Amino acid sequence: MSDSTAPLTIIDIARLSGVSKSTVSRVLSGAESVSEDAREKVMAAVQTSGFRRNDLARSLRSGRTGMIGLVIPDIANPFWADVARGAQDAAADENVSLLIFNSDWDPERERRHLLALTQSRVDGAIVNPVRDGLDEIARFRIPLVLIGSSAERFPQLPSVGSDISQGVSIGLDRIVAAGLGMPALLVGDAERTARERFVAAVRSIGEVEGWPLDEMRLEDGHYTVDGGRAAMNRLLARDIPRVVFAANDLMALGALQAIRSSGLRCPEDVALLGFDGVPAAEVSAPSLTTVAKPSREIGGRAFELLSKKIAGEPDVPKLSLPCALIERETLPQPNYPRAVSTG
């Protein structure tokens, strides 16, 4: 194509096509009153020269970069990878690029990344705020959309999360339907807010079902497969619960290992319900029945909200997306149809 290393500018294109740089700029920015003749000449020059518009200069002048930041705990975590994918798909449709950062649940890293983002002059950012760095976040003068359960601490900021209460509700309903009685609970420590929300939801919904939280066994553990295995072993050390509701899939998967290596059968001896919907839950044996969070949709909707915020819309909402039950093998099918209250 072009012979030398000379970086081309729109001025070169203007010279090649015999028009002014203003006209070249207009052609390259899409319509806006340019004659067909001029447009063709410019396009031809662009084609033969292999010119690529410099988005840096463009952004500097226009104030828009077409880039947004995504700050999540860990892209290698399947849940967050899925959120990222959802955001990317939505962003790609509007030609915006994603700058992705891992906070590793570390407020200091989060702060550094946010700083880098403001310096890069991204148009906005989607952030899963880390526990303690909360106040500081508001200080970054940049359109922000929050994701995750800690988002609720910022009532003034738009956010997208999954509806934990509703998820717990369908989970407990399903456990009721299984007819195995009150579940033992397995909860994690990853995010304090997430844990609290889960427990709070179980309390309020359990009351309706006639299952007071106080009477349930509740075991804490690290938010990992190993943590779930250990927590489940502690549970089994005292007695064998008929059914276990885990607050996340990783721990549920660990619990499954603990159940099976104790010589117990799942679901015949101990039934199990997870929460999250990670892909690995599909390939465990038996495959894990779980309440899935709409991870990909969370990313997608977060991008949509951010777009609105960037566009200057005044009332960008806080969204709570519903979870969905994925029927698999660790929770037995209901023996009998449940009474359904119509309406």
Partner DNA sequence: ACCAGCCGTGGGAACCTTCCCACGGGCCAA
Partner DNA sequence: TTGGCCCGTGGGAAGGTTCCCACGGCTGGT
In the region spanning residues 155 to 214, those forming contacts with a copy of itself, defined by CB under 8 A, are none
Number of residues near a copy of itself (by CB under 8 A): 52
CA distance 167 to 173: 10
Which one of DNA, a copy of itself, none is in contact with 67 (Cβ closer than 5 to 8 A by kind)? Answer: a copy of itself
Bridge partners (DSSP) of residue 69 are 99, 125
C-beta of residue 50 within 8 angstroms of C-beta of residue 39? no
Q: According to the binding rule CB under 8 A, does residue 308 interact with a copy of itself?
A: no
Check binding of 261 to DNA (CB under 7 A): no
Binding mask 43-72 for DNA (x = CB under 7 A): --------x-xx--xx-xxx----------
Which segment (25-33, 71-79, 198-206, 247-255) binds DNA by CB under 7 A?
25-33
Restricting to residues 223-262, name those near a copy of itself by CB under 8 A. 225, 253-254, 256-257, 260
Q: Which does 21 bind (CB under 5 to 8 A by kind): DNA, a copy of itself, none?
A: DNA
Q: Residue 216: CB partners within 8 Å, gap ≥ 6?
A: 182, 183, 184, 185, 202, 206
Task: Work out whether 290 is an interface residue with a copy of itself (CB under 8 A).
Answer: no
Q: Which helix (H) or strand (E) holds 220?
A: strand 218-221
Burial of 173 (0-12, 13-18, 19+ CB in 10 A): middle
Longest dimension (CA), the chain: 86
Q: Which segments of 50-186 does DSSP mark as H helices, in order?
A: 55-62, 78-93, 107-119, 134-137, 164-178
Our CB check for DNA shows the closer of 38 and 218 to be: 38
Instruction: Please report, in angstroms and rounded to a whole number, the separation of the first and last CA atoms in the chain.
Output: 69
C-beta of 37 vs 214, nearer to DNA: 37
Residues forming contacts to DNA in the complex (CB under 7 A) are: 7, 9-11, 18-23, 25-26, 28-29, 33-35, 37-38, 51, 53-54, 57-58, 60-62
